[in-house]
Structure 1
Amino acid sequence: MIRKLTEQDHDQVLAFLSEEPSINLFIIGDIEVFGYSSEFQEIWAEFDEQNNSIKAVLLRFHQSFIPYAKGEFDTEGFVSIMKRYNQPVLLSGKSDIVEKFEAFDDLQLGKKQATFFAECLTDEYLNIIDQSIAINKATIEEVDQIIEIRESIEEFVIRDDARELLVQAMESNTARTYYTEDHGVITSCVSTTAENSMSAMIVGVCTRKEYRRQGLATTIMQKLFQDVLDEGKTLCLFYDNPAAGRIYKRLGFKDIGMWTMYR
């Protein structure tokens, strides 16, 4: 049985999701901030009819969907929900879960991208922060510059609503960006997203080409990582570049699985 969740289901669904807080940080964060009655967010769950326990969850946030399950689940039932909205479907999640949806020819999925998923639980690998590099925390005033520098990175895919989502995330305290600048121009930045009471995702690590190889991004990451870990949260990130993976692992990250996105 699949039904839409309400505030009355909160404790049960959080208990289900919190067994893998890193994998579920997007769903947990969105539930904590936006709840169950926002126009842009809905959450459904499949229940075991025998004991009314949750088997799987599906989140819609704007035009994106994230499913999560611990075993077999009603994939066809979730497909029928996603088909009510615009296609192609923007889908992401743990690879062994979301790849089940590829079997449905009538579900139009976007371009597939698989990445490594890593988490960090300790600050023991962080170095002393270079105090000669001034690091700032971004406000709404810096949003346009943050989007502009991200758009300059060839590997990044920037959504049409990226500015709107970043502003919303900043205002809801589910994201923060640290950056360096040179005469008022942002030269390098690192952001979090989907911050919640348990975890935070690192995204948007970027440096303008003319400022690279100066250690700016690494220094910003160390400052951001330390601040988030000091708050008792787990750090998570995606990577598909082996060189980047080596940098993250030197800072204490460990691979915990694969994450697949269809965009």
Structure 2
Amino acid sequence: MAGSPADELAFALSLADEADAFTLPRFERADFTLGWKDDRSEVTEADRGAESLLASRVLAERPTHGFLGEEHGVQGDIESPWRWIVDPIDGTSGFVRGIPVWATLIALTHADDGLVTAVVSAPAMRRRWWAGRDLGAFADGTPCRVSDVSELVNAQVSVTFSRGWDELGLTDELVAISREARRGRGFGDFWQHCLVAEGALDLAIDAVGVAPYDLAAVRLIVEEAGGTFTDREGNPTHEEPSAISSNGALHAQVISRLGR
């Protein structure tokens, strides 16, 4: 069983507090050892330790729930309709280089009802975003809402180039979208989607190769802020290896160019 979205959001916020207390001192002191995964992406014991900390707390206080983390996979009740999806440090490549753009991503999903609660906590930036189903989205406690920009020529966009886009033959299209926009940037990772939710960006195109733990939390925040979050083919999901968020007004025209 689980509580209401508001109750589960309060629990998720407390989990984020615990994660911040573990990760931020290690970032500030560069107190970690760097390792490499099979895909050559960075990992530290701070990633693994933060995930273990959160998994232990979730499984102790929500024993009938499942837990999916980037570092240790699925734990808990694998048959449960309730599942926590966690990325302990989204942006590890920045974390290890002293760049403060990294965050702990926490989401609760239900097999039938979808996303229930989400928190994105970026302690080195002193920023936090959260949302609950039908409760709205918030940035540092202030309700946030997507923009109303309807033309790409007037839009601020963030594009994350990756080898996956090269393999799809769509990198030139990404460049064209950036050039047609009023301003193109590459904020990357969680931040670009949170900026869409805040209305600071109008469109964010993520790397190809993302995973549910990269996307679940930011998806709910964007949607509760009134935005649209899909894969590159326009399917509303956090379970495919591509992700595009927007204010909604720009979405169809971008999908038509990247969904082929």
Pair in the same fold by TM > 0.5: no
**Alignment TM-score, normalising by the size of structure 2:** 0.30
TM-score normalised to structure 1 length: 0.30
